[in-house]
Amino acid sequence: MSVRAGREFLAIPGPTTVPDEVLRAMHRPAVDIYSGPLLALTDGLLRDVARVFDTKGRTYIYISNGHGAWEASLTNVLSKGDRILVLESGRFAVGWGDGARRMGVEVEILNGDMRRAVRPAEVEARLKADRKSNAGGTFKAVLVAQVDTASGVVNDIEAIGQAIRAAGHDALLMVDAVASLGCMPFHMDAWGVDVAMSGSQKGLMAPPGLGFVAANDRARQAHKNAGLRTPYWDWTEREGDQHYQKYAGTPPEHLLFGLRQALDLLFEEGLENVFQRHRLLAEAVRRAVGMWAEGQAIGFNIIEPSERCDTVTTVLMNGGDPEAFRAYCNRKCGVILGHGIGELSGKAFRVAHMGHVNAPMILGTLGVIEMALAALEIPHGKGGAQAAIDWLGQQVKA
């Protein structure tokens, strides 16, 4: 017996729920790829993607997922044999660095912890030590993820940028904003980020298939001497006068139609309101998990509350089987939770609260989780869903 009917709810950290308005925007015939309206669409999207990154730099749209945008970022500023420093705080910055290694880049990992954020002081110390062997430092770039969806951490990108400058180092700061852009503040120029990348399928509320890269003047200067440049990813090629060069061929028309509508929804709500909505809903999830954790069978992966991100909460399960738990939520109630990945495979589940989400979606998900904990007799503290309701009720006044 189950109570699973109606729409399935995807509570995984990407792809996220696509708004009906975005789906409708895509449900239209193809148009002439050389026509004025499509050219204007591209110009507007490039401007507005830069607006979300909060940069005056150049932006590029790729037909790719986040891994493609990783590669686009690396190949445009690095050469074979260059050295980079990767800041570990989960799985994804390390994965980005692994891609660089496979392209012939020398990679050093500043070891972190799956349960904590990057420590800016450690970054500054490592870069100061690097400068002792070379006036400007030997590292060409520093790679970090603002949010790592494996661990559920948020890194302080502003402080990391300050650490690089305090070390007097010339390395480019390159940031993965896949799981944060459009959900949390990202101030590329103010924080001193040189290259940032993201994807369409999380906070930007569009289907998977588009990758985004933003680059400032320092990055574009490094690009001139980058030896890893290839025709498809190359920024110079995409800055050509012909419209088709913006996509290295045929534009992904229908994904662009959807992205236009998704960005319009974000701007209509207002980015600050979007960020506040994510803060409130994330804290509601954290209030619930905090209550359940009193039973000691489950708990937060990220130890410090201030380092828990506003887009996904990774929950450790010390009693019971996380996969059986996820299966129950799906089969019985139609809620799909994220599974633990990397070091947390088989040890955790993840609750996404990013993109096109509201209070009913989050409270419904928390109610299903509490129901599953009880049904599967997993030891937990009581009243988690009610704690979330109480929190939102206090914050969202009439």
Do 248 and 290 lie in one domain? The reply is no
* Residue-level pLDDT at 150: 98
284: CATH: 3.90.1150.10
Q: Which residues have a Cβ under 8 Å from the Cβ of 226 and sit 6 or more positions away?
A: 75, 76, 77, 78, 79
Last residue of a domain, one of 234, 266, 298: 266
207: CATH: 3.40.640.10
Give a three-class secondary structure readout of 117-134.
Answer: CCCHHHHHHHHHHHHCCC
Do 276 and 319 lie in one domain? The reply is yes
Do 244 and 298 lie in one domain? The reply is no
Do 171 and 35 lie in one domain? The reply is yes
Whether residue 26 is contained in a domain is answered as: no
| Three-state secondary structure call for residue 193 | coil
Whether residue 283 is contained in a domain is answered as: yes
Do 243 and 289 lie in one domain? The reply is no
What is the span of the domain harbouring residue 182? 31-266
Give the whole-angstrom CA distance, residue 212 versus residue 51: 12
Whether residue 23 is contained in a domain is answered as: no
Last residue of a domain, one of 236, 251, 266: 266
Residue 229 token pair: 């440049």
User: How many CA within 13 A on the CB side of residue 254?
Assistant: 9
Q: Which residues have a Cβ under 8 Å from the Cβ of 201 and sit 6 or more positions away?
A: 14, 15, 16, 65, 207, 208, 209
Q: Which residues have a Cβ under 8 Å from the Cβ of 358 and sit 6 or more positions away?
A: 277, 281
Q: Centre a 10 Å sphere on the Cβ of residue 155 and count the other Cβ atoms it contains.
A: 27
Do 230 and 309 lie in one domain? The reply is no
Task: Considering only CA atoms, give the Rg of the chain.
Answer: 22
| Three-state secondary structure call for residue 278 | helix
State how beta strands 335-339 and 9-11 pair: parallel
Number of domains in the chain: 2
Do 260 and 288 lie in one domain? The reply is no
* Residue-level pLDDT at 241: 83
Q: Centre a 10 Å sphere on the Cβ of residue 40 and count the other Cβ atoms it contains.
A: 10
Q: Centre a 10 Å sphere on the Cβ of residue 334 and count the other Cβ atoms it contains.
A: 18
Do 171 and 37 lie in one domain? The reply is yes
Whether residue 113 is contained in a domain is answered as: yes
Q: Which candidate, 232, 226, 162, places its Cα nearest to that of 190?
A: 162
What is the residue whose two structure tokens read 């049904």?
375
Give the whole-angstrom CA distance, residue 58 versus residue 87: 25
How many residues can be counted in the chain?
398
Do 73 and 179 lie in one domain? The reply is yes
Last residue of a domain, one of 209, 232, 266: 266
Whether residue 2 is contained in a domain is answered as: no
Q: Centre a 10 Å sphere on the Cβ of residue 292 and count the other Cβ atoms it contains.
A: 26
Whether residue 22 is contained in a domain is answered as: no
Maximum C-alpha span of the chain: 69
Do 176 and 107 lie in one domain? The reply is yes
Whether residue 284 is contained in a domain is answered as: yes
Q: Which residues have a Cβ under 8 Å from the Cβ of 143 and sit 6 or more positions away?
A: 84, 85, 86, 87, 93, 96, 97, 100, 174, 176
Asked if 9 and 337 count as a contact pair (C-beta separation under 8 A), the reply is no
Do 221 and 321 lie in one domain? The reply is no
Per-residue pLDDT of the chain (398 residues; tens, 9 = 90+): 677 777 889 999 999 999 999 999 999 999 998 888 899 999 999 999 999 999 999 999 999 999 999 999 999 999 999 999 999 999 999 999 999 999 999 999 999 999 999 999 999 999 999 998 777 789 999 999 999 999 999 999 999 999 999 999 999 999 999 999 999 999 999 999 999 999 999 999 999 999 999 999 999 999 999 999 999 999 999 998 888 899 999 999 999 999 999 999 999 999 999 999 999 999 999 999 999 999 889 999 999 999 999 999 999 999 889 999 999 999 999 999 999 999 999 999 999 999 999 999 999 999 999 999 999 999 999 999 999 999 999 998 76
Do 62 and 165 lie in one domain? The reply is yes
Q: Centre a 10 Å sphere on the Cβ of residue 27 and count the other Cβ atoms it contains.
A: 10
Whether residue 83 is contained in a domain is answered as: yes
